[in-house]
Amino acid sequence: MNKKLTIQEWPIDNRPYEKLEQTGVRSLSNAELLAIIISSGMNGKTSVEIAMQLLSLSDDLSFLQRASLEELQQVPGIGRVKALRIKAAIEIGNRVGNFIATQENENLGNCQRAMLYFENQLKYLPREEFHIALLNVRQELIRTVQVSTGNIKSIELDAREIFREAIRSNAAGIILAHNHPSGDPRPSEKDIITTQKISKLGEQLKVNILDHIIVGAKSSLSLKAEGFF
């Protein structure tokens, strides 16, 4: 019976660490990238094999963001520490993306760009969150702020907090956004009424509410584009 090779016994060109050094991070497969995060194998399995088993659970790589720590640990070879590493790596990637968007003054005046931006932040959250994007007069992103956290059924908003953040940043406009963990982006009556109230308050304070984006599992919706306010 042939002895199974460890990663250290693989040809150098096939080892994830060395491959990254020699040919760059983009040359690595999803399994190889995940194997570097997992770091080590166990029970006769290499970190690459464990990564492949984890990735086999879904055709959608984003499930790693949706999955809980407990769900990740259902895969043999993924313990508490490795699950924490995976979640930390995903979050640092999200934060880098958000930082780049802010530094590059991404323009969110177009509802399609605004939906894409908030989908990257909110799409896979397990509970409902309400965020705002603060924009300058050119409708370029200044920064985003998480205003409130609710649950799947409801979320409480504090309009004072929304406009307090806008005034602090000298924002000319705001885009509201929240997610529906149920997956359906259609607005509730409360969503519509709350948006209309905030929009009217914005008119009084001379801060334009440009849109309200609702993010669902497979699609998003612009309340402005749909004519709700």
Side chain identity at 165, as an amino acid letter? E
pLDDT category of residue 127 using cuts at 50, 70 and 90: confident
The confidence score (pLDDT) of residue 118 equals: 92
pLDDT category of residue 1 using cuts at 50, 70 and 90: very low
Q: How far is C-alpha 190 from the geometric centre of its chain's CA atoms? A: 25
pLDDT at 117 over 60: yes
Q: Which residue has the tokens 């530094």?
A: 103
Q: Which residue has the tokens 């699609």?
A: 219
Question: Is this structure's pTM higher than 0.85?
Answer: no
Domains present along the chain, CATH in parentheses: 7-97 (1.10.150), 107-222 (3.40.140.10)
User: Who has greater pLDDT, 176 or 93?
Assistant: 176
Q: Could you report the per-residue pLDDT of 75-114, keeping only the tens digit for each?
A: 999 999 999 999 999 888 877 776 766 665 677 888 888 9
Distance CA 211, CA 53 (A): 42
pLDDT at 52 over 60: yes
Q: What average pLDDT does the segment 188-213 reach?
A: 92
pLDDT at 2 over 70: no
Strand partners, 83: none
